[in-house]
Amino acid sequence: MQSNKKVLYACRYHVVWCPKYRRPVLVDDVRERLVEILHQEARDRHAEVLALDVMPDHVSLVVDADPQFGIHRLVKRLKARSSHDLRREFPHLRSRLPALWTHSYLVVTIGGARPATVRRYVAAQRHT
């Protein structure tokens, strides 16, 4: 459970999004930098990253987010900052893609699942 000044909450979401055209560009240094950016932006928005896996063609994130800020705002901020920073730091992303991310994403509420169970699920996705 987390809280802000007015609300005690446990809002956990599984969010998945892909690069434009599902291109496998999230590798090596880009992947490492993306992980750093997502953790920093989540901290800046008072959200907690419970699990994160970056595959070459998609991002799978489990996050505990403040319901008053809204998951849609959090995802928008994560995608915007990571796109801006990665395209600035890795010019090959600008030449291969008109935009880094697609406009769409998947959000699923986790409910009462334990964080360890969710982390195992996200980690297992790499092997399926």
105 as an active site residue: the answer is no
91: Cα separation from own chain's centroid: 22
Number of residues assigned to the chain: 128
Give the active site residue among 9, 13, 105, 121.
121
Identity of residue 62: V
- Yes or no: say if 49 and 87 are a contact pair by the CB < 8 Å rule: no
Instruction: Please give the Cα distance from 85 to 61 (Å, whole number).
Output: 19
Show which residues are catalytic: 121
